[in-house]
């Protein structure tokens, strides 16, 4: 974890025909195949926390391809947000120990 002091990373969550994608700027940093909906833990952690430091902020915005009435897309988005928040909480707890 080698981020800057209180760095803010903003990502975009998008849907394509066969996968969900998280972008940082225009770079694809993480994908979830729609057929399996599996999240590979190590790849997920590396994508979001490789350069993370205590105090950093991770924000993921829904892109234009995510429709409000699309339940599965919104559930996948919510799961990603939940996982990120859980990991941040665990990192912060370990730092306090």
SS (H, E, C) the chain: CCCCCCCEEEEEEEECCCEEEEEECCEEEEEEECCCCCCCHHHHHHHHHCCCCCCCEEEEEECCCCCCCCHHHHHHHHHHHHHHHHHHHHHHHHHHC
Q: What is the pLDDT of residue 4?
A: 52
Q: Determine if the pTM surpasses 0.75.
A: yes
**pLDDT tens, residue by residue, 58-76:** 999 999 999 989 999 999 9
CB 95 within 8 A of CB 89: no
Q: Beta strands 19-24 and 8-15: pairing type?
A: antiparallel
The per-residue pLDDT for 1 is: 43
């Amino acid at each position: 974890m080698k981020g800057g002091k209180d760095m803010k990373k903003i990502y975009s969550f998008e849907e394509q025909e066969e996968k969900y994608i998280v972008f940082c700027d225009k770079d694809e940093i993480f994908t979830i195949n729609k057929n399996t909906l599996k999240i590979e833990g190590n790849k997920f952690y590396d994508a979001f926390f490789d350069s993370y430091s205590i105090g950093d902020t991770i924000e993921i915005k829904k892109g234009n391809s995510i429709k409000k009435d699309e339940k599965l897309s919104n559930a996948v988005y919510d799961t990603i947000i939940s996982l990120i928040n859980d990991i941040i909480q665990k990192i912060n707890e370990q730092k306090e120990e």
